[in-house]
Chains A and B, each alone.
Chain A
Amino acid sequence: MNGQFSTRVITLMPVAIAINIVLGVTVQQVLKLPIYLDSIGTILVGVLAGPLAGALTGILSNLIWQYAPGIGGGTIGPFAVTAGVIGLLAGLWGQLGVYRSRPASGTSLWLPTVIAVAIILFLASRIYGNPAYNDPAYFVSWYSTAIVLVAVVVSVAVVAWVVVKRDAAGAWVALAGAVTGIVAAIVSAPISAYVFGGVTGGGTDVIVAALRQGGSDVLNASLGQGFFSDPIDKVITSFVVFIIIASVSPRLLARFPNGERLTATAA
C-alpha cells in the first residue's frame, strides 16, 4: 500500500488528529488564549504526507471534534473548510521543500531572511494600508498599529532564530506560516461572520468586540480578528512542526511519502 496513504500515514493521522483536538481544547477552552494551536497535527501530516493527507487530517479533526460522543460540542465543525485549506497548503510547502533544514552562513543566510521579512512586512502593510481598513469609520487606529507590531515582532523573532540556528529554512518556514495564516483568516471570516454572527466563544471574541467597537461591520471585524490571530498562530505552529521534523532522524523521515524533500541534502 504505497502512495500518499500508506499504512504509516494511516497510523500518523489519528495521532495528529488527537494532537489537534487535545491542544486545541486546552488552548482555546481551558486557557482561553487568543490563538488556536489546533493545526499542529494538520500541518505535520501535510508536510510529511502531502496535501491530500493534510487536508483530510484537518477536516476530520474538525468533524470529530464536533460530532464525537464525549468530545463533541462547540462550534468548531463548520471550520473544517479552513482546516482542509491549511492542510492543503502545508502539503504544498512540504513538497516545495520549505521544511528542509538549510544550514547556511553569510549571504545565503541573510538573503532569504531579508526576503522573507520583506514579504511579511509587505503583506502587513497591505492590511495596514488598505483604505477600507484605515477609514476611521471602519477600523480603529490601534488595529493598524497592532498589525504592524505583530509583523515586526514576527520578523524579529525570525531573524533571531535564523541567526542563532544558522538555518536559513527558518525564514521560509515563517513565510509559509504567515501566508497560511492570512489565507486561513480569509477563509474563516465568512464562516464566522455568517454562520455564527461573528463570534466563536473563545478568547478571540475580545478582539472582535474591540473591532466592532471601532465601527467595523460584521465581516470585516471577523476578518480583522483573523488577520490578528491567524498569522501568529500559523507561524508558531509552522515553527513547532519544523522543530519536530528537524529532530526526527532522517532514517525515520525517509519512510514517509514526502520524506525525501525534508532531509537536508549535502551542499
Chain B
Amino acid sequence: MRDARYAYAGTSRQVLAGVDLDVEAGRVVAVVGPNEAGKSTLCLVAAGLAPIAIGGRLEGSVLLAGDETAGLAAYQAAQRCGILFQNPATQLSGTTSTVWEEIAFGPRNLGLDIGAIVERVEGAMATLDIAGLADRDPQRLSGGQAQLVALASVLALRPSLLVLDEPTSQLDPAGTRLVGDALGRFAADNGTAVLLVEHKTGLVARIADEVAVLVGGRIVEHGPTAEILRDPALAEHGVDPPPAVRIERAVAAAGRSGDLAGLDLAALEVDPIAGAPRPTGAPLPTGARA
C-alpha cells in the first residue's frame, strides 16, 4: 500500500489517512493499535474487499501481486489474498455437510476441475493438520476447529497474501491455543505473506517478524517485533505489551527495589498466547526469566 486513504460509503471521514505498508512473501507483519484505529478497515482494503464489495472511496495505491485492487473483481482479489475474520460461525457457508466440502467451496466456485480441487483441499488440510476433521459436520465443531476450517477454505484458493483480522478474539482459550499454534507453524513453513491484526500481543510476539502500530488511520511506528513490543511508548497508544515483556518489567522492577517478595507471582502463570492460566507443569515461555 502506498498512501492508502479510505472512507466508507456515506461518510466523509477518512478511516485510513495515508497508510504505507508492504508485506513481503514469507514475512509476517502484525498491526496493533487502539480500537477504532482502522485496523479492520485496513484488513478489508488490503484484501481488496474495500471498495469493491462494500463501496466507499479509496485513494492512493493498493497492490495485490502487482495489480491495483481497484481494478480487480472480488473473486480475483480472493485468489491473490485470503482473509479470515473473528467469528468462525459466519465464515462457514452453512451449506455443506462435511468439512471436506466446506474447504472445497472456494475452488468449486472457480470452476476448477475435480483433480485440482482434490489437490487443493488435501493441501489445505495438510498445511493446517486438520485431515482428521474431513468428514465432520462443520456446524458441530469447536470454535477453534471451525476457525481452522475457515482458514483452510481460504487457503484452498492458494493466495499469496493472507490477512487475519483478530482471528482468535472470539475463541475460548483452548481454541485460541489451537489456532495460535497452527498459525505459528504456518508462518514458519510457508512462503505466504501474512498480515496479522491482533490485540493479543503474545501471539504477535510469537509469530510476527515486524510490527506496525496503527493509530488514527496512520502508521505511527513500524519495525522489528522485539523492538516495537519492548517500546514503553506502546502503552500510550493503547496497546498492551505481551506477557513476556510485562514479566520482564515486573521482574526488573522488583529486582531494582530488591523486593522480590513483592513480585506478582500470578503473572508468571500466564499462558503467553491465550493470556489465560496455563496448565501447571508446562514449560515457561522463552524470553521470560524466572
Contacts and interface: CB of A to CB of B under 8 A. Distances in A.
* A and B assemble together: yes
B53 A251 contact: no
Contacts of A255: 9, 54-55
5 contacts: A7-B53, A7-B74, A251-B8, A251-B9, A255-B54
Interface string B55-84: 100000000000000000010000000000
A250 interface: yes
Contacts, number: 15
Interface residues of B, number: 9
B11 interface: yes
A263 interface: yes
Contact of A254 (B10, B74, B94): B10
A14 B94 CA distance: 10
A49 to B, nearest CB: 15
B76 to A, nearest CB: 13
Given A7-B53, A254-B55, A255-B9, 5 more contacts: A250-B10, A251-B8, A251-B9, A254-B9, A263-B10
Interface in A1-59: 7, 14
Top 8 closest pairs, chain A to chain B, by CB: A254-B10, A254-B9, A251-B10, A250-B10, A251-B8, A255-B54, A255-B55, A251-B11
A130 B116 CA distance: 69
A263 B10 CA distance: 10
Q: Point out which of B10, B55, B94 has the most chain A C-beta atoms below 10 A from its C-beta.
A: B10
B85 to A, nearest CB: 14
Nearest to A263: B10
Nearest to B55: A255
Contacts of B8: 251
Contacts of A14: 94
Contacts of B53: 7
Interface of B: 8-11, 53-55, 74, 94
Contacts of B55: 254-255
Nearest to A14: B94
A160 B10 CA distance: 32
Contacts of B11: 251
Contacts of A250: 10
Contacts of B9: 251, 254-255
A54 B101 CA distance: 30
Contacts of A263: 10
A219 to B, nearest CB: 42
A254 B57 CA distance: 13
B91 to A, nearest CB: 12
A263 B9 CA distance: 13
B53 to A, nearest CB: 7
B124 to A, nearest CB: 23
B13 to A, nearest CB: 11
A99 B9 CA distance: 20
Nearest to B95: A14
A250 B8 CA distance: 11
Q: Point out which of B9, B55, B74 has the most chain A C-beta atoms below 10 A from its C-beta.
A: B9
A149 B74 CA distance: 54
A7 B54 CA distance: 11
Nearest to A1: B74
Contacts of A7: 53, 74
A7 B75 CA distance: 12
A198 to B, nearest CB: 39
B225 to A, nearest CB: 34
A106 to B, nearest CB: 29
A250 to B, nearest CB: 5
B70 to A, nearest CB: 16
Interface in A53-112: none
Contacts of A254: 9-10, 55
B78 to A, nearest CB: 12
A254 B9 CA distance: 7
Interface in A229-267: 250-251, 254-255, 263
A250 B56 CA distance: 13
A263 B74 CA distance: 26
Nearest to B8: A251
Nearest to A18: B94
Nearest to B94: A14
Contacts of B94: 14
Nearest to B75: A1
A72 to B, nearest CB: 18
A14 B90 CA distance: 13
Nearest to B53: A7
A7 B55 CA distance: 13
A247 to B, nearest CB: 16
A5 B54 CA distance: 15
A56 B53 CA distance: 23
B221 to A, nearest CB: 29
Contacts of B10: 250-251, 254, 263
A182 B220 CA distance: 61
Q: Point out which of A14, A250, A254 has the most chain B C-beta atoms below 10 A from its C-beta.
A: A254
B46 to A, nearest CB: 19
